[in-house]
Structure 1
Amino acid sequence: MSRITINITTTYNRLELCSQTLWSLLNQSALPEKIVVWVSKEAYLIDKGIDREPYWVRDLNKIKNLIEFKWTTNTGPYRKLFPALAAASEDQTIVYADDDTIYKENWLNLLISKFQEHNEEKIVASRVRIIKRNLFGRHKSYMLWPISKKEVELASDYLITGVGGVILKKKHIKEAFVSNQDYLKVCPKSDDFWISEIISQSQTPVLAYPEAMHEILLIKHEHGLEKQNTLISHSLTGKAFDRIKINTLGRLGVSICNNDISFKRIKEYFKETDKACL
């Protein structure tokens, strides 16, 4: 197996959450060569910026000396993948994940084993949503896209969600997409959508591997983009209204959350600019 790095990004307000994630990554049954945390000094979106390595990194590295903080330009959530792609050699294996998740000890081993089983020719992702259309051929709302519950190979109409972990190599994404930062104006908060689209445009097959989802534990918190991108109501009235919107407007293909808007903007971007031919 080639060299493996796990890559995540975090923000000023999520550093303590990130420390829990990193602890779980240090306790994997299969260990990477490095665990890289991509951060930035300048503020952007919800991030105030991070100007120094947290004190607890030294303590965690006493367990296993694998964690490395690296500073890069602040592109928000896109930092979990694109700096790693730019720095990677052709033989390097890249895993990216989220900073607000506990990964149980067999998570990485499962991803690596499945990746090797398919000769490293397919991107393996544990948590993948299947994009659905209505009877008129229009895309339904993101809120109606189910998470794949079975192992299946996909060429299109999917959304990889990074929280479950994704394993790939540099060759799986066309070089032109690695340097293209138009996502900063098209969909700055919707990295999973953009990444899924450029993988699809690169014609690399994706293997949904839900078995690895059993190895993740989500941390509930108030410091993410989920509330801004989806419909999340806490009151009974709000939840009921959300369900009505999802089952009426959402089924008709009307945008009812920011993720729907981002998805349509990405599709329009690639259609208008013909980036698929790069």
Structure 2
Amino acid sequence: MKMSLVNEAHGFYLKGRFLDALSIYRKLAGLLGEDLFRANISLCEKRLGIGRNLPGNGQNRINIAFITDDGFALPTYVALHSLIRNKNDDVEVNVYVLSVNLSRENIDNLKSLQKDKVWVFILELDENSSQFSILKNGFHVSTAAITKFSLPEILADLDKVLYLDGDIIVRSDLSELYNVCIDDLYAGVVPDIKPTLKYKPSILSKLNVEHHRYYFNSGMMLLNLKKMRQDDLTNKLLDYRKNGINFFMDQDALNVVFADNVKYLSCRNNLLVTLQGEFTLDQIAHEYKEPIKCKSFSDLVESANVVHFASKEKPWKILQGEQFLLWYRYYLTSGAAANNLFEIPEVIRNVDPYGVIVSLTSYPARIGSAHITVKSLLSQTFQPSAVVLWLAEEEFPGGEVSLPKELLDLKPSGLSIQWCHNIKSYKKLIPALKAYPDNVIVTADDDIVYKPTWLEQLVGSYLQYPDSIHCCRAHKISVDGETFMSYRKWRRNIKDPAPSYQTFFTGCGGVLYPPASLHSDVMNEVDFTTLCGSGDDIWFWSMAVLNGTKIRVIPDKSFTLEFTPDSQEVALWRNNDVGGENDAMLNRILSRYPDIAKLVEHGGVEELAI
């Protein structure tokens, strides 16, 4: 029998099934002595990327584990990207991805995330291996569940690991969470209050463990692998999964077997989106026994370390709700779509986020500092297809020869300089509408420094509301019936996220225009120069309303305008706002298009996706 095990282990090794071989060699070492199989174990560990001589100096190193298959490869990739993006520069991360029959393509995709101070090890599991074949009442117990139970044995040379489900987004560096002391406990976990408080009877009653303080969610667990091995937890978990009461895959077994030998952590370390709508913020604060000073659940998400999409409605399957937008932002910045690494999720298959054009204009008085704005546009976390600067031939008769060197130096980095006739501030959009009629166009002003996540937020908002125009800064039009109140009496800098005709975008913050979102009259140069010569925002807003397109402002309270040096000495807004020209232009528009006032009065506000 022992010789057959040796042959089986050797066969697994030759086939590249190193984890299966390692498991058998460790078993043989226990039966026949460690010295006989030390070299075999070492070879397997080397192939798997585990062992005692791991990269890094150890002082700032954290160990992370994921479990995935081809069906979960994309969200795991995005989750890992979010972890890497938000880690501190001095932190080293060893990531162990336990893969269940994962395709070679997806293995390569996940390993492509490896970078300086981040090592990604793929531990390949065979679902058909005997160690993963467990039946209960005729039903197959999932490989993922068994793998989670087996982490102490699979990662036998680690004393501690932070396990994360693939349907999460990491919002901050995880070092502090990883370094929580759990020396005498099995794990650090976050309670899930919904099954305890909302289920009738509660989950604790169903499992006959009413004496437990909480029922925890297993999507984030800081595991004490050393203590779990000492107490033979793997076998106890497997035994309970085969013979105990189970409702939630691995989670019930972990709760029952761990009992209260866990440290309960802040809800921010595994913030479950399923809490939204079920509990108020006061209830969440009370049940988790921690202060929550946020004004909304969205604010709580912003303060979380780990956000967990634990509901059935996964964000890569359905566009719904403010919190799902968070996942899409990381998806867009991960490079998954840009590099064609995975099949595009069906829900956004018809949306081409990489058909985005950033368009702006400038003129002689500002051209000297325009490169500052352009640099910020070229440094976005979400990279557009093109950044196009439109210049009037009449204003720069010498062509590119008359442009500053600092600006021309940005052409190799992605700046496209294109020429048109002089229609003043309208140059930032009208020529782009002609040149790119089927693209998403995002306009920017030449006197603003845009933060790196500016474009990613706009595109993410667009993916959630593809029929709306999106902006970062807006006012709310004050009306009395069909009568518009003076511009200076409008509510300024609103953050109402529901799309509405009454939301008036201000172009300086940036505006995203989906294809065909403006009325065809938008291109009528005679009308816009006569009615609204210096008010392009008013013209574009009116063309949106006339077309039946509502406007949504991104509810980012941290958004501010950072102007380039000395740019405001020649700003148009001074005369338009303070001088009252905005009211005059708006009245001319309403006289020409009286239906706009009726639409604003009766169009209402679109219901938010929930």
Partner of 1:230: 577
Q: Which amino acid aligns with 1:125?
A: C
**Pair 1:213–1:166, CA change in 2 (3 A):** farther
Partner of 1:235: none
Q: What CA distance in whole angstroms lies between the structure 2 residues aligned with 1:178 and 1:152?
A: 28
Give SS of 1:221's match.
Answer: helix
**Greater Cα shift, 189-198 or 122-131:** 122-131
Report the Cα offset of residue 157 of structure 1: 2.8
**Aligned mate of 2:452, from 98, 101, 105:** 105
Native 8 Å contact 1:126 1:213 kept in 2: no
Give SS of 2:368's match.
Answer: helix
**Aligned mate of 2:484, from 111, 135, 139:** 139
Q: Which amino acid aligns with 2:440?
A: T
Partner of 1:4: 356
Native 8 Å contact 1:110 1:212 kept in 2: no
Partner of 1:16: 368
**Aligned mate of 2:472, from 117, 126, 147:** 126
**Aligned mate of 1:56, from 401, 406, 411:** 406
1:182 aligns with 2:552: no
**Aligned mate of 1:74, from 422, 429, 440:** 422
Matches within 5 A, 1:166-177: 166-177=511-522
Q: Which amino acid aligns with 1:56?
A: E
Deviation track 1:78-132 (CA, whole Å, cap 9, x = no partner) reads 1111111111142x111111111000111011111111122x2221111111111
**Greater Cα shift, 53-62 or 125-134:** 53-62
Deviation track 1:186-232 (CA, whole Å, cap 9, x = no partner) reads 1110110010000000001211214186264234521221222122x
Q: What CA distance in whole angstroms lies between the structure 2 residues aligned with 1:181 and 1:114?
A: 33
Give SS of 1:189's match.
Answer: coil
Give SS of 1:8's match.
Answer: strand
Give SS of 1:184's match.
Answer: helix
Q: What CA distance in whole angstroms lies between the structure 2 residues aligned with 1:17 and 1:104?
A: 17
Partner of 1:95: 442
Matches within 5 A, 1:234-273: 257-271=580-594
**Pair 1:215–1:60, CA change in 2 (3 A):** farther
Q: TM-score, normalised by structure 2?
A: 0.37
Q: Which amino acid aligns with 1:84?
A: A
Give SS of 1:222's match.
Answer: helix
Q: What CA distance in whole angstroms lies between the structure 1 residues aligned with 2:499 and 2:530?
A: 31
Deviation track 1:134-160 (CA, whole Å, cap 9, x = no partner) reads 5x8642211111221231210x23321
Native 8 Å contact 1:29 1:106 kept in 2: yes
Query: Which consecutive unaligned segments of at least 5 residues does structure 2 have?
Result: 1-352, 600-610
**Pair 1:266–1:105, CA change in 2 (3 A):** same
Native 8 Å contact 1:107 1:216 kept in 2: no
Q: What CA distance in whole angstroms lies between the structure 1 residues aligned with 2:533 and 2:509?
A: 21
1:148 aligns with 2:500: no
Report the Cα offset of residue 51 of structure 1: 3.6
**Pair 1:269–1:213, CA change in 2 (3 A):** farther
Q: Which amino acid aligns with 2:382?
A: A
Report the Cα offset of residue 265 of structure 1: 1.0
Q: Which amino acid aligns with 1:208?
A: V
Q: What CA distance in whole angstroms lies between the structure 2 residues aligned with 1:72 and 1:213?
A: 36
Q: Which amino acid aligns with 1:271?
A: P
Native 8 Å contact 2:477 2:503 kept in 1: yes
Q: Which amino acid aligns with 2:420?
A: T
**Aligned mate of 1:35, from 382, 387, 411:** 387
**Pair 1:211–1:181, CA change in 2 (3 A):** farther
Q: What CA distance in whole angstroms lies between the structure 1 residues aligned with 2:424 and 2:409?
A: 27
**Pair 1:212–1:3, CA change in 2 (3 A):** farther
Report the Cα offset of residue 49 of structure 1: 4.5
Partner of 1:237: none
Give SS of 2:390's match.
Answer: strand
**Greater Cα shift, 157-166 or 187-196:** 157-166
Q: What CA distance in whole angstroms lies between the structure 2 residues aligned with 1:137 and 1:186?
A: 20
Query: Which consecutive unaligned segments of at least 5 residues does structure 1 have?
Result: 43-47, 232-255
Q: What CA distance in whole angstroms lies between the structure 2 residues aligned with 1:176 and 1:258?
A: 22
Q: What CA distance in whole angstroms lies between the structure 1 residues aligned with 2:581 and 2:459?
A: 33
Q: Which amino acid aligns with 1:261?
A: A
Q: Which amino acid aligns with 2:586?
A: F
Native 8 Å contact 2:522 2:540 kept in 1: no
**Pair 1:24–1:212, CA change in 2 (3 A):** farther
**Pair 1:176–1:185, CA change in 2 (3 A):** closer
Q: What CA distance in whole angstroms lies between the structure 1 residues aligned with 2:460 and 2:398?
A: 37
Deviation track 1:44-92 (CA, whole Å, cap 9, x = no partner) reads xxxx546422222332234x2x1111111111111111111111142x1
Q: TM-score, normalised by structure 1?
A: 0.78
